[in-house]
Amino acid sequence: MYRSVIEWYLQRITGALLLVLLVAHFWVEHFMTAPLRRGELTYAAILDRISNPYWQAIDISFLVIALYHGLNGLRNIILDYSRIGKKAARVCTAILMIAGVYWAYLGVQAFKNL
Amino acid sequence: MKNSARLLVRKYSWQYSGMLAWLIQRVSGLLLLFYLFLHVLTINKLSQGPTAFDQAMSLFQRPAFKLLEIALLGTVVLHALNGIRITLIDLGVGHEKQRQLFWLLALGIGGLIFLAGAIPIFLFSILRI
Amino acid sequence: MNSVFFKVSRSAPGGASKHVQSFRVAIQERMTVLDALFAIQREQDPSLAFRYSCRVAMCGTCAMYINRIPRLACKTGIENLASETITVEPLPHLPVLKDLIVSLEPFFAQWKRVRPAFHFSGRNSQELARIPPASEFGRQAREKRDCITCGACFSACGVTGTNRRYLGPAAINKAYLRLMDPRDDAVEERLRVVNDELGGIWRCHTQFNCVAACPKGIDLTDSIARVKRAMLRPGRFREKLSETSGPEV
Protein backbone atom coordinates (compact mmCIF):
# COMPACT_ATOMS: atom_id res chain seq x y z
CA MET A 1 0.00 0.00 0.00
CA TYR A 2 1.47 3.30 -1.01
CA ARG A 3 1.11 6.32 1.24
CA SER A 4 0.32 8.57 -1.69
CA VAL A 5 -2.87 6.76 -2.58
CA ILE A 6 -4.25 7.19 0.94
CA GLU A 7 -3.49 10.91 0.81
CA TRP A 8 -5.16 11.10 -2.58
CA TYR A 9 -8.34 9.43 -1.37
CA LEU A 10 -8.33 11.36 1.90
CA GLN A 11 -8.17 14.68 0.07
CA ARG A 12 -11.39 13.78 -1.74
CA ILE A 13 -13.06 12.28 1.33
CA THR A 14 -12.22 15.28 3.52
CA GLY A 15 -13.42 17.53 0.73
CA ALA A 16 -16.81 15.83 0.69
CA LEU A 17 -16.99 15.93 4.51
CA LEU A 18 -16.10 19.61 4.52
CA LEU A 19 -18.93 20.35 2.13
CA VAL A 20 -21.45 18.88 4.55
CA LEU A 21 -19.78 20.33 7.64
CA LEU A 22 -19.55 23.78 6.07
CA VAL A 23 -23.24 23.95 5.26
CA ALA A 24 -24.06 22.71 8.77
CA HIS A 25 -21.62 25.21 10.30
CA PHE A 26 -23.19 28.07 8.40
CA TRP A 27 -26.66 27.04 9.56
CA VAL A 28 -25.52 26.66 13.17
CA GLU A 29 -23.83 30.06 13.27
CA HIS A 30 -26.46 32.07 11.43
CA PHE A 31 -29.82 30.34 11.70
CA MET A 32 -29.96 27.98 14.69
CA THR A 33 -31.27 30.39 17.34
CA ALA A 34 -33.39 33.53 17.22
CA PRO A 35 -30.63 36.01 18.18
CA LEU A 36 -28.40 34.60 15.44
CA ARG A 37 -31.21 34.88 12.90
CA ARG A 38 -31.56 38.53 13.92
CA GLY A 39 -27.90 39.02 13.07
CA GLU A 40 -26.61 39.38 16.63
CA LEU A 41 -23.22 37.68 16.29
CA THR A 42 -22.06 38.19 19.87
CA TYR A 43 -20.32 36.31 22.67
CA ALA A 44 -23.59 36.07 24.59
CA ALA A 45 -25.48 34.67 21.61
CA ILE A 46 -23.11 31.71 21.16
CA LEU A 47 -21.93 31.13 24.75
CA ASP A 48 -24.44 28.35 25.46
CA ARG A 49 -23.48 26.33 22.42
CA ILE A 50 -19.69 26.66 22.66
CA SER A 51 -19.64 25.86 26.37
CA ASN A 52 -21.07 22.46 25.54
CA PRO A 53 -18.23 19.91 25.18
CA TYR A 54 -20.10 18.00 22.47
CA TRP A 55 -20.28 21.08 20.26
CA GLN A 56 -16.64 21.81 21.04
CA ALA A 57 -15.71 18.34 19.84
CA ILE A 58 -17.64 18.83 16.61
CA ASP A 59 -16.02 22.22 16.01
CA ILE A 60 -12.52 20.92 16.66
CA SER A 61 -13.11 17.94 14.35
CA PHE A 62 -14.29 20.33 11.66
CA LEU A 63 -11.13 22.39 12.13
CA VAL A 64 -8.82 19.39 11.98
CA ILE A 65 -10.48 18.07 8.81
CA ALA A 66 -10.24 21.50 7.21
CA LEU A 67 -6.59 21.80 8.21
CA TYR A 68 -5.76 18.41 6.72
CA HIS A 69 -7.49 19.24 3.44
CA GLY A 70 -5.98 22.71 3.18
CA LEU A 71 -2.43 21.90 4.21
CA ASN A 72 -2.34 18.73 2.12
CA GLY A 73 -3.49 20.87 -0.80
CA LEU A 74 -0.67 23.29 -0.11
CA ARG A 75 1.76 20.39 0.05
CA ASN A 76 0.60 19.22 -3.37
CA ILE A 77 1.24 22.67 -4.80
CA ILE A 78 4.76 22.66 -3.36
CA LEU A 79 5.50 19.16 -4.70
CA ASP A 80 4.58 20.33 -8.20
CA TYR A 81 7.74 22.40 -8.36
CA SER A 82 10.68 20.09 -8.93
CA ARG A 83 13.17 22.69 -7.78
CA ILE A 84 12.86 20.98 -4.41
CA GLY A 85 14.42 17.56 -3.98
CA LYS A 86 13.26 14.58 -1.94
CA LYS A 87 14.86 15.89 1.24
CA ALA A 88 13.39 19.36 0.90
CA ALA A 89 10.00 17.76 0.27
CA ARG A 90 10.25 15.91 3.56
CA VAL A 91 11.20 19.13 5.36
CA CYS A 92 8.22 20.93 3.79
CA THR A 93 5.89 18.17 4.93
CA ALA A 94 7.24 18.45 8.48
CA ILE A 95 6.79 22.23 8.50
CA LEU A 96 3.21 21.89 7.26
CA MET A 97 2.43 19.30 9.92
CA ILE A 98 3.82 21.53 12.66
CA ALA A 99 1.83 24.47 11.30
CA GLY A 100 -1.28 22.30 11.35
CA VAL A 101 -0.79 21.25 14.95
CA TYR A 102 -0.21 24.85 16.04
CA TRP A 103 -3.26 26.02 14.12
CA ALA A 104 -5.42 23.36 15.79
CA TYR A 105 -3.99 24.38 19.14
CA LEU A 106 -5.07 27.99 18.45
CA GLY A 107 -8.52 26.66 17.76
CA VAL A 108 -8.71 24.66 20.98
CA GLN A 109 -7.45 27.66 22.91
CA ALA A 110 -10.55 29.57 21.83
CA PHE A 111 -12.56 27.50 24.29
CA LYS A 112 -10.47 28.44 27.29
CA ASN A 113 -11.83 30.91 29.85
CA LEU A 114 -15.39 30.56 28.66
CA MET B 1 -20.14 11.12 -32.82
CA LYS B 2 -17.91 9.36 -35.32
CA ASN B 3 -14.34 9.02 -34.13
CA SER B 4 -12.94 11.24 -36.89
CA ALA B 5 -15.50 13.94 -36.18
CA ARG B 6 -14.72 13.75 -32.49
CA LEU B 7 -11.00 14.12 -33.20
CA LEU B 8 -11.70 17.13 -35.37
CA VAL B 9 -13.79 18.89 -32.77
CA ARG B 10 -11.42 18.04 -29.99
CA LYS B 11 -8.29 19.10 -31.80
CA TYR B 12 -9.44 22.23 -33.48
CA SER B 13 -11.35 23.85 -30.67
CA TRP B 14 -9.02 24.07 -27.74
CA GLN B 15 -10.80 23.53 -24.49
CA TYR B 16 -9.34 25.61 -21.77
CA SER B 17 -11.81 24.32 -19.22
CA GLY B 18 -9.39 21.76 -17.78
CA MET B 19 -6.61 24.30 -17.25
CA LEU B 20 -9.04 26.94 -16.02
CA ALA B 21 -10.57 24.52 -13.53
CA TRP B 22 -7.14 23.56 -12.24
CA LEU B 23 -6.12 27.17 -11.83
CA ILE B 24 -9.37 28.13 -10.11
CA GLN B 25 -9.04 25.20 -7.72
CA ARG B 26 -5.49 26.12 -6.83
CA VAL B 27 -6.06 29.85 -6.35
CA SER B 28 -9.34 29.42 -4.47
CA GLY B 29 -7.73 26.76 -2.28
CA LEU B 30 -4.89 29.05 -1.28
CA LEU B 31 -7.30 31.92 -0.60
CA LEU B 32 -9.48 29.68 1.56
CA LEU B 33 -6.46 28.43 3.50
CA PHE B 34 -5.52 32.04 4.19
CA TYR B 35 -9.09 32.76 5.27
CA LEU B 36 -9.04 29.74 7.60
CA PHE B 37 -5.97 31.15 9.30
CA LEU B 38 -7.62 34.54 9.86
CA HIS B 39 -10.84 32.87 10.99
CA VAL B 40 -9.14 30.75 13.65
CA LEU B 41 -7.28 33.83 14.90
CA THR B 42 -10.59 35.67 15.24
CA ILE B 43 -12.42 32.85 16.98
CA ASN B 44 -9.43 32.56 19.29
CA LYS B 45 -10.49 35.93 20.67
CA LEU B 46 -13.26 34.12 22.53
CA SER B 47 -10.71 33.27 25.18
CA GLN B 48 -10.08 36.98 25.73
CA GLY B 49 -13.62 37.56 26.94
CA PRO B 50 -16.89 39.03 25.65
CA THR B 51 -15.66 42.58 25.02
CA ALA B 52 -12.74 41.61 22.81
CA PHE B 53 -14.83 39.08 20.89
CA ASP B 54 -17.83 41.35 20.37
CA GLN B 55 -15.55 44.14 19.22
CA ALA B 56 -14.07 41.93 16.53
CA MET B 57 -17.52 40.68 15.48
CA SER B 58 -18.94 44.19 15.10
CA LEU B 59 -16.04 45.06 12.83
CA PHE B 60 -17.14 42.29 10.50
CA GLN B 61 -20.64 43.75 10.19
CA ARG B 62 -19.28 46.74 8.29
CA PRO B 63 -20.21 46.94 4.58
CA ALA B 64 -16.59 46.52 3.48
CA PHE B 65 -16.36 43.21 5.32
CA LYS B 66 -19.73 42.14 4.02
CA LEU B 67 -18.33 42.56 0.54
CA LEU B 68 -15.41 40.35 1.52
CA GLU B 69 -17.94 37.87 2.86
CA ILE B 70 -19.64 37.76 -0.52
CA ALA B 71 -16.25 37.17 -2.12
CA LEU B 72 -15.66 34.35 0.36
CA LEU B 73 -18.97 32.78 -0.62
CA GLY B 74 -17.96 32.89 -4.26
CA THR B 75 -14.57 31.35 -3.53
CA VAL B 76 -16.07 28.53 -1.45
CA VAL B 77 -18.74 27.72 -4.04
CA LEU B 78 -16.22 27.61 -6.88
CA HIS B 79 -13.79 25.42 -4.96
CA ALA B 80 -16.50 23.07 -3.68
CA LEU B 81 -18.30 22.48 -6.97
CA ASN B 82 -15.10 22.15 -8.96
CA GLY B 83 -13.96 19.75 -6.24
CA ILE B 84 -17.07 17.66 -6.85
CA ARG B 85 -16.28 17.67 -10.56
CA ILE B 86 -12.70 16.55 -9.92
CA THR B 87 -13.86 13.76 -7.58
CA LEU B 88 -16.32 12.54 -10.21
CA ILE B 89 -13.58 12.50 -12.84
CA ASP B 90 -11.20 10.71 -10.50
CA LEU B 91 -13.82 8.04 -9.90
CA GLY B 92 -14.13 7.50 -13.63
CA VAL B 93 -17.46 9.25 -14.08
CA GLY B 94 -17.84 11.89 -16.73
CA HIS B 95 -14.51 11.79 -18.57
CA GLU B 96 -16.28 12.33 -21.85
CA LYS B 97 -18.19 15.24 -20.39
CA GLN B 98 -15.49 16.96 -18.35
CA ARG B 99 -15.95 20.26 -20.19
CA GLN B 100 -19.71 20.31 -19.66
CA LEU B 101 -19.18 19.37 -16.03
CA PHE B 102 -17.04 22.45 -15.64
CA TRP B 103 -19.21 25.00 -17.37
CA LEU B 104 -22.60 23.69 -16.25
CA LEU B 105 -21.85 22.30 -12.78
CA ALA B 106 -18.94 24.26 -11.43
CA LEU B 107 -19.68 27.62 -13.02
CA GLY B 108 -23.39 27.33 -13.86
CA ILE B 109 -24.82 25.80 -10.71
CA GLY B 110 -22.06 27.47 -8.72
CA GLY B 111 -23.11 30.82 -10.07
CA LEU B 112 -26.73 30.20 -9.11
CA ILE B 113 -25.82 29.20 -5.56
CA PHE B 114 -23.53 32.19 -5.31
CA LEU B 115 -26.28 34.57 -6.38
CA ALA B 116 -28.74 32.93 -4.00
CA GLY B 117 -26.40 33.79 -1.16
CA ALA B 118 -24.79 36.98 -2.37
CA ILE B 119 -27.93 38.91 -3.26
CA PRO B 120 -29.56 38.60 0.22
CA ILE B 121 -26.28 39.53 1.91
CA PHE B 122 -25.90 42.49 -0.40
CA LEU B 123 -29.47 43.70 0.07
CA PHE B 124 -29.83 43.20 3.81
CA SER B 125 -26.35 43.87 5.12
CA ILE B 126 -24.90 46.39 2.70
CA LEU B 127 -27.82 48.33 1.34
CA ARG B 128 -29.74 47.79 4.61
CA ILE B 129 -33.13 47.34 2.96
CA MET C 1 -8.01 32.98 -48.39
CA ASN C 2 -5.23 32.55 -50.88
CA SER C 3 -2.27 33.47 -48.75
CA VAL C 4 -1.52 33.19 -45.07
CA PHE C 5 0.95 34.99 -42.84
CA PHE C 6 3.29 32.58 -41.00
CA LYS C 7 5.20 33.66 -37.89
CA VAL C 8 7.92 31.06 -37.44
CA SER C 9 10.26 30.81 -34.45
CA ARG C 10 13.91 30.89 -35.47
CA SER C 11 17.07 30.37 -33.46
CA ALA C 12 20.75 29.62 -33.86
CA PRO C 13 22.06 26.06 -33.39
CA GLY C 14 21.82 25.37 -29.67
CA GLY C 15 18.70 27.46 -29.33
CA ALA C 16 20.30 30.87 -28.81
CA SER C 17 19.23 34.14 -30.47
CA LYS C 18 15.56 33.29 -30.49
CA HIS C 19 13.49 35.48 -32.75
CA VAL C 20 10.40 35.32 -34.95
CA GLN C 21 10.52 35.50 -38.72
CA SER C 22 7.47 36.18 -40.85
CA PHE C 23 6.64 34.61 -44.18
CA ARG C 24 3.69 35.02 -46.50
CA VAL C 25 2.75 31.70 -48.12
CA ALA C 26 0.36 31.16 -51.03
CA ILE C 27 -2.21 28.59 -49.98
CA GLN C 28 -3.59 25.75 -52.06
CA GLU C 29 -6.54 23.56 -51.21
CA ARG C 30 -5.97 21.03 -48.41
CA MET C 31 -2.50 22.39 -47.68
CA THR C 32 -1.05 21.45 -44.30
CA VAL C 33 1.32 23.41 -42.09
CA LEU C 34 4.06 20.97 -43.07
CA ASP C 35 3.40 21.75 -46.75
CA ALA C 36 3.74 25.44 -45.92
CA LEU C 37 7.06 24.83 -44.15
CA PHE C 38 8.32 22.98 -47.24
CA ALA C 39 7.24 25.93 -49.39
CA ILE C 40 9.06 28.37 -47.13
CA GLN C 41 12.21 26.27 -47.13
CA ARG C 42 12.09 25.78 -50.88
CA GLU C 43 11.20 29.30 -52.01
CA GLN C 44 12.01 31.78 -49.25
CA ASP C 45 14.56 30.59 -46.68
CA PRO C 46 16.48 27.33 -47.14
CA SER C 47 18.00 27.64 -43.65
CA LEU C 48 14.68 26.89 -41.92
CA ALA C 49 15.14 23.73 -39.85
CA PHE C 50 12.32 21.36 -38.96
CA ARG C 51 11.81 17.61 -38.58
CA TYR C 52 9.45 15.41 -40.53
CA SER C 53 9.37 11.83 -41.71
CA CYS C 54 6.27 9.97 -42.83
CA ARG C 55 4.08 13.02 -43.55
CA VAL C 56 0.96 10.94 -42.82
CA ALA C 57 0.59 11.29 -39.02
CA MET C 58 2.07 7.90 -38.24
CA CYS C 59 5.58 8.64 -36.99
CA GLY C 60 5.09 11.63 -34.70
CA THR C 61 8.26 13.39 -35.89
CA CYS C 62 6.70 16.70 -36.98
CA ALA C 63 5.05 17.64 -33.67
CA MET C 64 5.19 21.42 -33.20
CA TYR C 65 3.48 24.23 -31.31
CA ILE C 66 1.04 25.60 -33.90
CA ASN C 67 -1.11 28.54 -32.82
CA ARG C 68 -0.08 27.68 -29.29
CA ILE C 69 -1.32 24.11 -29.34
CA PRO C 70 0.95 21.07 -29.79
CA ARG C 71 -0.01 19.39 -33.08
CA LEU C 72 1.41 17.29 -35.90
CA ALA C 73 2.32 19.70 -38.70
CA CYS C 74 1.51 17.10 -41.38
CA LYS C 75 -2.00 16.69 -40.00
CA THR C 76 -2.86 20.33 -39.38
CA GLY C 77 -4.87 21.66 -42.26
CA ILE C 78 -4.32 25.38 -42.77
CA GLU C 79 -7.95 25.96 -43.72
CA ASN C 80 -9.04 24.24 -40.48
CA LEU C 81 -7.05 26.71 -38.41
CA ALA C 82 -9.23 29.46 -39.93
CA SER C 83 -6.75 32.17 -39.12
CA GLU C 84 -5.00 34.89 -41.13
CA THR C 85 -1.83 34.48 -39.09
CA ILE C 86 -0.36 31.16 -38.02
CA THR C 87 2.38 30.95 -35.40
CA VAL C 88 4.72 27.97 -35.57
CA GLU C 89 6.99 27.37 -32.59
CA PRO C 90 9.02 24.46 -31.28
CA LEU C 91 7.32 22.17 -28.73
CA PRO C 92 7.40 23.76 -25.25
CA HIS C 93 8.96 22.13 -22.17
CA LEU C 94 11.77 20.69 -24.32
CA PRO C 95 15.23 22.10 -25.14
CA VAL C 96 15.39 23.81 -28.54
CA LEU C 97 18.14 22.58 -30.87
CA LYS C 98 17.46 24.94 -33.76
CA ASP C 99 14.38 26.71 -35.13
CA LEU C 100 11.54 24.21 -34.82
CA ILE C 101 13.67 21.25 -33.79
CA VAL C 102 13.64 20.18 -30.13
CA SER C 103 15.49 17.52 -28.25
CA LEU C 104 13.15 14.79 -27.06
CA GLU C 105 15.70 13.67 -24.44
CA PRO C 106 13.61 14.73 -21.42
CA PHE C 107 10.55 13.04 -22.90
CA PHE C 108 12.34 9.76 -23.51
CA ALA C 109 14.14 9.91 -20.17
CA GLN C 110 10.72 9.69 -18.52
CA TRP C 111 9.59 7.11 -21.09
CA LYS C 112 12.46 4.80 -20.20
CA ARG C 113 11.76 5.11 -16.46
CA VAL C 114 8.58 3.04 -16.76
CA ARG C 115 10.40 0.25 -18.59
CA PRO C 116 8.19 0.57 -21.67
CA ALA C 117 9.36 -2.64 -23.36
CA PHE C 118 7.24 -5.72 -22.98
CA HIS C 119 8.63 -8.11 -20.39
CA PHE C 120 7.12 -11.46 -21.21
CA SER C 121 6.64 -13.77 -18.25
CA GLY C 122 6.78 -16.93 -20.32
CA ARG C 123 9.70 -16.08 -22.56
CA ASN C 124 10.74 -19.72 -22.96
CA SER C 125 7.24 -20.86 -23.72
CA GLN C 126 6.59 -22.79 -26.91
CA GLU C 127 2.93 -21.76 -27.03
CA LEU C 128 1.43 -18.62 -28.49
CA ALA C 129 -0.08 -16.22 -25.99
CA ARG C 130 -3.57 -15.43 -27.18
CA ILE C 131 -5.42 -12.24 -26.38
CA PRO C 132 -8.95 -12.34 -27.84
CA PRO C 133 -9.99 -8.85 -28.96
CA ALA C 134 -13.21 -9.14 -26.97
CA SER C 135 -11.35 -9.95 -23.75
CA GLU C 136 -11.02 -7.35 -21.01
CA PHE C 137 -7.40 -6.58 -21.86
CA GLY C 138 -8.10 -6.67 -25.58
CA ARG C 139 -10.84 -4.09 -25.29
CA GLN C 140 -9.03 -1.77 -22.93
CA ALA C 141 -5.71 -1.97 -24.77
CA ARG C 142 -7.23 -1.10 -28.11
CA GLU C 143 -7.43 2.61 -27.43
CA LYS C 144 -4.29 2.91 -25.34
CA ARG C 145 -1.65 1.35 -27.57
CA ASP C 146 -1.62 3.84 -30.46
CA CYS C 147 0.98 6.16 -28.92
CA ILE C 148 3.53 7.37 -31.50
CA THR C 149 5.73 9.14 -28.91
CA CYS C 150 5.32 12.48 -30.66
CA GLY C 151 5.66 14.44 -27.40
CA ALA C 152 2.54 16.55 -27.91
CA CYS C 153 0.99 15.47 -24.61
CA PHE C 154 4.23 16.09 -22.73
CA SER C 155 4.40 19.60 -24.17
CA ALA C 156 0.74 20.33 -23.55
CA CYS C 157 0.79 19.25 -19.92
CA GLY C 158 0.93 22.12 -17.45
CA VAL C 159 2.78 20.00 -14.88
CA THR C 160 5.78 19.04 -17.02
CA GLY C 161 6.42 22.74 -17.40
CA THR C 162 7.18 23.20 -13.71
CA ASN C 163 8.18 19.70 -12.61
CA ARG C 164 11.14 18.15 -14.39
CA ARG C 165 10.58 14.89 -12.53
CA TYR C 166 7.03 14.35 -13.75
CA LEU C 167 6.65 11.22 -15.88
CA GLY C 168 4.18 12.83 -18.24
CA PRO C 169 1.04 11.36 -19.85
CA ALA C 170 2.76 9.22 -22.50
CA ALA C 171 5.00 7.38 -20.04
CA ILE C 172 2.17 6.75 -17.61
CA ASN C 173 -0.09 5.54 -20.41
CA LYS C 174 2.62 3.12 -21.51
CA ALA C 175 3.08 1.94 -17.94
CA TYR C 176 -0.68 1.40 -17.72
CA LEU C 177 -0.68 -0.61 -20.93
CA ARG C 178 2.08 -2.89 -19.65
CA LEU C 179 0.73 -3.12 -16.11
CA MET C 180 -2.61 -4.43 -17.26
CA ASP C 181 -1.12 -6.84 -19.79
CA PRO C 182 -1.68 -10.36 -18.44
CA ARG C 183 1.46 -11.59 -20.21
CA ASP C 184 3.82 -9.04 -18.67
CA ASP C 185 5.55 -9.55 -15.35
CA ALA C 186 7.61 -6.44 -14.59
CA VAL C 187 4.79 -5.19 -12.38
CA GLU C 188 6.68 -4.33 -9.18
CA GLU C 189 9.23 -2.15 -10.89
CA ARG C 190 6.63 -0.15 -12.80
CA LEU C 191 4.41 0.27 -9.73
CA ARG C 192 7.34 1.75 -7.87
CA VAL C 193 8.05 4.24 -10.65
CA VAL C 194 4.48 5.43 -11.17
CA ASN C 195 4.04 5.92 -7.43
CA ASP C 196 7.02 8.24 -7.15
CA GLU C 197 5.97 11.06 -4.85
CA LEU C 198 7.69 13.86 -6.74
CA GLY C 199 7.07 12.77 -10.33
CA GLY C 200 4.56 9.94 -10.47
CA ILE C 201 0.86 9.73 -11.22
CA TRP C 202 -0.01 11.84 -8.19
CA ARG C 203 1.38 14.94 -9.88
CA CYS C 204 -1.38 14.75 -12.46
CA HIS C 205 -4.11 17.28 -11.75
CA THR C 206 -6.53 16.35 -14.52
CA GLN C 207 -5.91 19.42 -16.66
CA PHE C 208 -6.94 17.38 -19.73
CA ASN C 209 -4.50 19.23 -21.98
CA CYS C 210 -2.95 15.91 -22.96
CA VAL C 211 -6.28 14.51 -24.11
CA ALA C 212 -6.91 17.59 -26.23
CA ALA C 213 -3.43 17.48 -27.80
CA CYS C 214 -2.99 13.77 -28.54
CA PRO C 215 -3.08 13.29 -32.34
CA LYS C 216 -4.15 9.69 -31.84
CA GLY C 217 -7.12 10.57 -29.66
CA ILE C 218 -5.91 8.51 -26.69
CA ASP C 219 -7.74 9.38 -23.48
CA LEU C 220 -4.55 9.83 -21.46
CA THR C 221 -6.18 11.34 -18.40
CA ASP C 222 -8.36 8.25 -18.26
CA SER C 223 -5.26 6.01 -18.25
CA ILE C 224 -3.71 8.01 -15.45
CA ALA C 225 -6.95 8.02 -13.44
CA ARG C 226 -7.26 4.25 -13.81
CA VAL C 227 -3.75 3.73 -12.48
CA LYS C 228 -4.53 6.04 -9.53
CA ARG C 229 -7.68 4.12 -8.67
CA ALA C 230 -5.87 0.80 -8.94
CA MET C 231 -3.19 1.87 -6.47
CA LEU C 232 -5.58 1.21 -3.60
CA ARG C 233 -4.98 -2.51 -4.08
CA PRO C 234 -1.78 -2.82 -6.10
CA GLY C 235 -1.65 -6.56 -5.47
CA ARG C 236 -4.90 -6.99 -7.32
CA PHE C 237 -3.83 -4.66 -10.05
CA ARG C 238 -5.03 -6.59 -13.03
CA GLU C 239 -8.40 -7.58 -11.62
CA LYS C 240 -8.85 -4.09 -10.23
CA LEU C 241 -8.18 -2.61 -13.64
CA SER C 242 -10.83 -4.80 -15.17
CA GLU C 243 -13.37 -3.73 -12.56
CA THR C 244 -12.64 -0.04 -12.80
CA SER C 245 -15.55 1.95 -14.11
CA GLY C 246 -15.02 4.31 -16.95
CA PRO C 247 -15.94 4.91 -20.57
CA GLU C 248 -16.51 1.83 -22.69
CA VAL C 249 -13.81 1.20 -25.27
Give C135-146 pLDDT, tens digit per residue: 878 888 898 999
Please give the mean pLDDT across all residues of chain A: 91
- Does residue C127 sit in the same domain as residue C199? yes
Which chains reach chain A with 3 or more Cβ–Cβ distances below 8 angstroms? B, C
Alpha-carbon gap: B36 to the closest alpha carbon of chain C (Å): 24
Residue B6 lies in a domain: no
| Total length of chain C | 249
Q: Which residues of C touch A85 (CB under 8 A)?
A: 198
Please give the mean pLDDT across all residues of chain C: 90
- Does residue C228 sit in the same domain as residue C194? yes
Share of chain B above pLDDT 90, in %: 41
Contact in structure between C104 and C130 (CB atoms under 8 Å)? no
What is the tens place of the pLDDT at every residue in C57-84? Answer: 999 999 999 999 999 999 999 999 888 9
Encode C34-67 in three state secondary structure: HHHHHHHHHHHCCCCCCCCCCCCCCCCCCEEEEC
Domain boundaries, chain A: 3-109
Q: What is the predicted pLDDT for the residue at A25?
A: 93
Q: Which residues of B touch A42 (CB under 8 A)?
A: 50, 53-54, 57
CATH number of domain containing C201: 1.10.1060.10
- Does residue C24 sit in the same domain as residue C39? yes
- Number of Cβ pairs closer than 8 Å across B and C? 62
Please give the mean pLDDT across all residues of chain B: 84
Domain boundary residue among C35, C67, C102? C102
Average pLDDT over residues A6-17: 95
- Does residue C196 sit in the same domain as residue C115? yes
Task: Classify the phi-psi angles of C60: left when phi > 0, otherwise alpha if psi is within -120 to 50, otherwise beta.
Answer: left
| pLDDT of A8 strictly over 90 | yes
| pLDDT of C156 strictly over 90 | yes
Helix C169-179 to helix C136-144 angle (10° resolution) is 160
- Binned at pLDDT 50, 70 and 90, residue B98 comes out as confident
Residue of A nearest to B34 (CA): A70
Strand-pairing partners, residue B25, are none
- Binned at pLDDT 50, 70 and 90, residue C93 comes out as very high
Domain boundary residue among C77, C102, C127? C102
What is the tens place of the pLDDT at every residue in C119-129? Answer: 887 788 888 87
Q: What is the DSSP letter of C203?
A: G
Contact in structure between C174 and C113 (CB atoms under 8 Å)? no
- Binned at pLDDT 50, 70 and 90, residue A44 comes out as confident
Average pLDDT over residues A26-53: 87
Residue B3 lies in a domain: no
Q: What is the predicted pLDDT for the residue at C215?
A: 95
Alpha-carbon gap: A86 to the closest alpha carbon of chain B (Å): 23
CA distances, C41 to each of C56, C66, C202, C213 (Å): 19, 17, 43, 26
What is the tens place of the pLDDT at every residue in B7-57? Answer: 444 443 456 788 889 999 999 999 999 999 999 999 998 888 889 999 998
- Does residue C93 sit in the same domain as residue C136? no
Say what the ipTM of the complex is.
0.92
Q: What is the predicted pLDDT for the residue at A1?
A: 66
* C3: number of Cβ within 10 Å: 10
Distance CA B85, CA B74 (A): 17
CATH number of domain containing C95: 3.10.20.30
Q: What is the predicted pLDDT for the residue at C121?
A: 78
* B27: number of Cβ within 10 Å: 13
Q: Best of C202, C206, C222, C241 to disrupt the B interface by mutation (most B CBs within 10 Å)? A: C206
Q: What is the predicted pLDDT for the residue at B129?
A: 62
Q: Which residues of B touch A50 (CB under 8 A)?
A: 46
- Does residue C29 sit in the same domain as residue C80? yes
Q: Which residues of C touch B90 (CB under 8 A)?
A: 206, 225, 228-229
Cβ-nearest to B87 among A15, A110, A112: A15
Helix (H, G, I), strand (E, B) or coil at C27: coil
Q: Which residues of A touch C157 (CB under 8 A)?
A: none
Residue of B nearest to C245 (CA): B92
Q: Is C126 exposed, middle or buried (0-12, 13-18, 19+ CB in 10 A)?
A: exposed
* Domains identified in chain C, total number: 2
- Does residue C56 sit in the same domain as residue C131? no
Alpha-carbon gap: A45 to the closest alpha carbon of chain C (Å): 43
Q: What is the DSSP letter of B122?
A: I
Residues of C with CB under 8 A from a CB of B: 69, 71, 80-81, 158, 205-209, 211-213, 215, 217, 219, 221-222, 225-226, 228-229, 244-247
CA angle C149–C153–C155, rounded 5-degree value? 105
- Binned at pLDDT 50, 70 and 90, residue C213 comes out as very high
Residue B10 lies in a domain: no
Q: What is the predicted pLDDT for the residue at C238?
A: 62
- Does residue C65 sit in the same domain as residue C163? no
Encode B21-50 in three state secondary structure: HHHHHHHHHHHHHHHHHHHHHHHHHHHHCH
Contact in structure between A25 and A61 (CB atoms under 8 Å)? no
Asked if B95 reaches chain C (Cβ–Cβ under 8 Å), the answer is yes
* B30: number of Cβ within 10 Å: 15
Average pLDDT over residues C93-107: 96
| Domain housing C226 | 105-243
Residue C20 lies in a domain: yes
* Domains identified in chain B, total number: 1
Average pLDDT over residues A22-31: 90
More confident residue, A108 or B125: A108
Average pLDDT over residues C77-97: 94
Q: What is the predicted pLDDT for the residue at C207?
A: 92
Q: What is the predicted pLDDT for the residue at B32?
A: 97
Residue C36 lies in a domain: yes
Among candidate residues B9, B2, B126, the one with its CA nearest the CA of residue B71:
B126
Residue B115 lies in a domain: yes
| Domain housing B71 | 17-126
Q: What is the predicted pLDDT for the residue at B4?
A: 44
Distance CA C217, CA B4 (A): 9
- Does residue C110 sit in the same domain as residue C144? yes
- CATH number of A3-109, picked from 1.10.290.10, 3.20.20.70, 1.20.1300.10, 3.40.50.720: 1.20.1300.10
Share of chain A above pLDDT 70, in %: 99
Q: What is the predicted pLDDT for the residue at B85?
A: 92
Distance CA C51, CA C61 (A): 6
- Binned at pLDDT 50, 70 and 90, residue C2 comes out as confident
* C78: number of Cβ within 10 Å: 22
Q: What stretches of chain A show up as alpha helix (H) in DSSP?
A: 3-30, 34-37, 43-51, 53-79, 86-109
More confident residue, A34 or A103: A103
Residues of C with CB under 8 A from a CB of A: 159, 162-166, 195, 197-200, 202-203, 205, 228, 231-232, 234
- Does residue C13 sit in the same domain as residue C129? no
Distance CA A69, CA A11 (A): 6
| Total length of chain A | 114
Residue B88 lies in a domain: yes
CATH number of domain containing B47: 1.20.1300.10
Contact in structure between C154 and C90 (CB atoms under 8 Å)? no
Cβ-nearest to C158 among B19, B86, B89: B19
Contact in structure between B75 and B31 (CB atoms under 8 Å)? yes
CB within 8 Å: B44 and A50: no
Q: What is the predicted pLDDT for the residue at B39?
A: 94
Domain boundary residue among C61, C82, C102? C102
